[in-house]
Amino acid sequence: MTKPKMPALGPIRTLLPLVLGLSVVTWMLVGAVRDNGGWSAIDGALTLPNWSWSLALLVGFVTLRDTGYVLRLKWLSNGELTWKQAIETTVLWEFASAITPGIVGGGAVAIWGLHRQGMTAGKSTALVFSTALLDELFYVVAVPPLVYILGQAVRPEGLDQVFGWGIFWAGWSLMLLLALVIAFGLFLAPNSTHRIVRGTAGWGLLKRWKRTIIGFAEDLRRSAEEMKSLSPLRWSGAMVATMVSWSARFLSLVAVMGMIVAPLQSLDALLIVARQLVMWVFLLVSPTPGSSGVAEWLLQVFFGKWLSAAPSPIAPAITMLIWRMATHFVYLLLGVLVIPSWLNQTGRKNATGSSDL
């Protein structure tokens, strides 16, 4: 493989997702104020009674989400990463995800970051592939039971019931396929998977991405060798950490809505989580960095009936703002604060196995 170039991680990259997200929130806020006769006509408190409990829950969920990510990296690295390195890698990964389109994600940056911190190319790739496998497994396993239990309730009224639902199941199927490819490549038949994936590089339209596909095949085989040393206990811990992180991610919206939209005890947390799982597919195919703009719009599509029933007419816009602050903007801020010093501390002289890249 060729050595990857250093990704662009400067502060300027935070501006586009920030501007897109805040523009949608501002547009909704201005519209709500205008439709209700101006600021002077909007009466009453914005927050609900006992909102502080929901705020505490929100802080707890954000903490749990990131703690799960850090623990997962720590365990899957087999102790090779220190706690500080695991935290810094999490910040780097989340920041990269926040400034790139959902379908791109921050995996490539995470591989580069892990290698920069001293991991070999094979180990860093194996670690990122392993986390990707756990993420895909959680998603593909969690969706069918919730869709079966809740039925039509998981489908938002504003989403086309044929075209939109078809996109969702197509996305779910792609995640299942990716999980199977990684699982076969890492555990079940690494050599066979390597040959199959490499062979697809010569297919028709896929020839355009021949080098990328071949590189993926090589990385997958190398990752299989790296992950053989992990014990079942570490894999079990990483899976639990993944479940905690994803659950905390989606429960964060429940906490935000409990502050502004409706009392916590009146919210159907399971349905809110299930709808976010459906919404996740559309966020992944968003062309904007960190799904900015698209995420705010989709929140209105998927949760409009809850937001429109809030006591204050500006509650929907404020709910979106707080939700994005807790799940997106915070990582833009952390990235700007942490990454510059991290870059100074982790020179290329720290990377080992550079020839692998």
Q: What is the pLDDT of residues 263-303, one digit of tens each?
A: 999 999 999 999 999 999 888 888 888 888 888 888 988 99
pLDDT at 47: 79
Q: In the predicted model, is pLDDT for residue 214 greater than 70?
A: yes
Q: In the predicted model, is pLDDT for residue 68 greater than 90?
A: yes
Q: What is the mean pLDDT of residues 53-81?
A: 93
How would residue 355 be classed by pLDDT, with cut points 50, 70 and 90?
very low
Higher pLDDT, 198 or 324: 324
How would residue 50 be classed by pLDDT, with cut points 50, 70 and 90?
confident
pLDDT at 23: 85
Whole-model pTM: value is 0.85
pLDDT at 40: 60
Q: In the predicted model, is pLDDT for residue 57 greater than 90?
A: yes
Among 22-31, 71-80, 196-205, top mean pLDDT goes to 71-80
pLDDT at 11: 64
Stretch among 121-135, 163-177, 199-213, 215-229 having the lowest mean pLDDT: 215-229
d(CA 321, CA 26): 9
Q: How far is CA 100 from CA 18, 36, 244, 286, 328, in A?
A: 12, 36, 24, 10, 12
Give the percent of the chain with pLDDT over 70: 88
Q: What is the mean pLDDT of residues 37-64?
A: 82
Q: In the predicted model, is pLDDT for residue 36 greater than 90?
A: no
Q: In the predicted model, is pLDDT for residue 37 greater than 70?
A: no
Q: In the predicted model, is pLDDT for residue 129 greater than 50?
A: yes
How would residue 161 be classed by pLDDT, with cut points 50, 70 and 90?
low
Q: What is the mean pLDDT of the chain?
A: 83
Q: In the predicted model, is pLDDT for residue 247 greater than 90?
A: yes
How would residue 9 be classed by pLDDT, with cut points 50, 70 and 90?
low
Each residue's pLDDT tens digit, 300-343 = 889 988 988 888 888 888 899 999 999 998 998 888 888 888 88
Q: What is the mean pLDDT of residues 37-66?
A: 83
Q: What is the 3-state secondary structure (H, E, C) of the chain?
A: CCCCCCCCCCHHHHHHHHHHHHHHHHHHHHHHHHHCCCHHHCCCCCCCCCHHHHHHHHHHHHHHHHHHHHHHHHHHCCCCCCHHHHHHHHHHHHHHHHCCECCCCCHHHHHHHHHHCCCCHHHHHHHHHHHHHHHHHHHHHHHHHHHHHHHHHHCCCCCCCCHHHHHHHHHHHHHHHHHHHHHHHHHHCHHHHHHHHHHHCCCHHHHHHHHHHHHHHHHHHHHHHHHCCCCHHHHHHHHHHHHHHHHHHHHHHHHHHHHHCCCHHHCCHHHHHHHHHHHHHHHHCCCCECCCCHHHHHHHHHHHHHHCCCCCCCHHHHHHHHHHHHHHHHHHHHHHHHHHHHHHHCCHHHCCCHHHC
Give domain limits for the chain: 16-348
pLDDT at 45: 64
Q: In the predicted model, is pLDDT for residue 1 greater than 50?
A: no
How would residue 357 be classed by pLDDT, with cut points 50, 70 and 90?
very low
Higher pLDDT, 325 or 79: 325
pLDDT at 90: 92
pLDDT at 258: 94
